[in-house]
């Protein structure tokens, strides 16, 4: 049996956030779902509708229906982590946390910083990324140059055209779901429909990702962790294994046939893994 989603809104750290929710609080830690880069909460729909309890899929800042940062501000991992911290406090101080891709990295940083606030953690092709510390100067140059080039999104003439763009990017996405994702992920502008995410996300962050620092967060996680491996991962297996080795209590689940967008390629298989792992009685 599946459950219908409802729209929700939060004010976190003075910024307006949107979310999709399923179920009602039942005394157990809610499940919080964090999407990946340039995505939105709607991509979790076919997984979340099959979970039990209170489930919250958040639109991260500058994504989906959540507010953009103000002029002169940028998007960095510490801000995402602080937003999650505010949401967890609002939800009662303790959650079961699930993150995909960038959302998985955010989730591990949060669980390492606030180990008592996370009872179960799932990362879907997103426990971390290859080290970028050697390119610090180049990243700063790219950041400065990127800020000069920020432009508004190109408009798609129709929602259907935006949906077709999604299908061209994510092979195997069925037309009906592509349409749903495009409806939630675009806004009406002159000339058609533009993506809702802030185009400043396309500016590379000034500070490179430091894997040595991330390993300290992974080592501080105290809850059981499930790392989900799609068959066609974006990340080198050796890099993933190095990061996973730092986690004290780790289980791995493979999803055959799935690509990086596992929640879209194999929602039923992913939901089954999540339902079994997130059940705190298990």
Active centre residues (catalytic) = 101
Helix or strand holding residue 10 (H, E): strand 6-12
| 261 half-sphere exposure, CB direction, 13 A CA radius | 19
**Is there a contact between 193 and 162 (Cβ–Cβ < 8 Å)?**
yes
Collapsing DSSP states into helix, strand and coil, what is residue 217? helix
Interatomic CA distance for residues 212 and 205, integer angstroms: 18
Apex CA 43: angle with CA 41 and CA 49, to 5°? 85
Query: Which distant-in-sequence residues (6+ apart) come within 8 Å of 236 by Cβ?
Result: 130
CB atoms within 10 A of CB 57: 27
Interatomic CA distance for residues 248 and 101, integer angstroms: 21
Interatomic CA distance for residues 231 and 216, integer angstroms: 27
Q: Choose among 116, 118, 111, 115: nearest CA to 95.
A: 118
Interatomic CA distance for residues 22 and 7, integer angstroms: 9
Interatomic CA distance for residues 263 and 282, integer angstroms: 23
């Amino acid at each position: 049996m599946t459950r219908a989603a409802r729209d929700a809104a939060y004010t976190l750290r003075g910024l307006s956030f949107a979310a999709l929710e399923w179920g009602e609080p039942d005394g157990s830690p809610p499940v919080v779902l964090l999407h990946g880069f340039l995505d939105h909460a709607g991509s979790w729909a076919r997984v979340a509708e099959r979970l039990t309890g209170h489930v919250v899929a958040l639109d991260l800042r500058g994504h989906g229906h959540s507010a953009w940062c103000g002029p002169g501000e940028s998007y960095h991992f510490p801000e995402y982590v602080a937003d999650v911290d505010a949401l967890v406090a609002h939800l009662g101080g303790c959650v079961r946390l699930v993150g995909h891709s960038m959302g998985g990295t955010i989730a591990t940083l949060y669980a390492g910083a606030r180990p008592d606030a996370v009872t179960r953690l799932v990362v879907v092709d997103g426990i971390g990324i290859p080290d970028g510390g050697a390119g610090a100067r180049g990243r700063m140059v790219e950041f400065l140059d990127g800020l000069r080039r920020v432009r508004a999104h190109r408009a798609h003439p129709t929602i259907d055209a935006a949906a077709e763009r999604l299908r061209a990017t994510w092979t195997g996405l069925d037309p009906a779901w592509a349409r749903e994702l495009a409806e939630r992920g675009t806004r009406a502008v002159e000339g058609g429909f533009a993506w809702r995410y802030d185009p400043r996300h396309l500016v590379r962050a000034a500070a490179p990702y430091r894997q040595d620092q991330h390993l300290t967060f992974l080592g501080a996680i105290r809850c059981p962790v499930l790392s989900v491996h799609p068959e066609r991962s974006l990340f080198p297996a050796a890099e993933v294994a190095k990061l996973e080795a730092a986690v004290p209590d780790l289980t791995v689940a493979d999803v055959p046939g799935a690509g990086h967008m596992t929640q879209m390629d194999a929602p039923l298989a992913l939901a089954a893994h999540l339902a079994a792992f997130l059940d705190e009685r298990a």
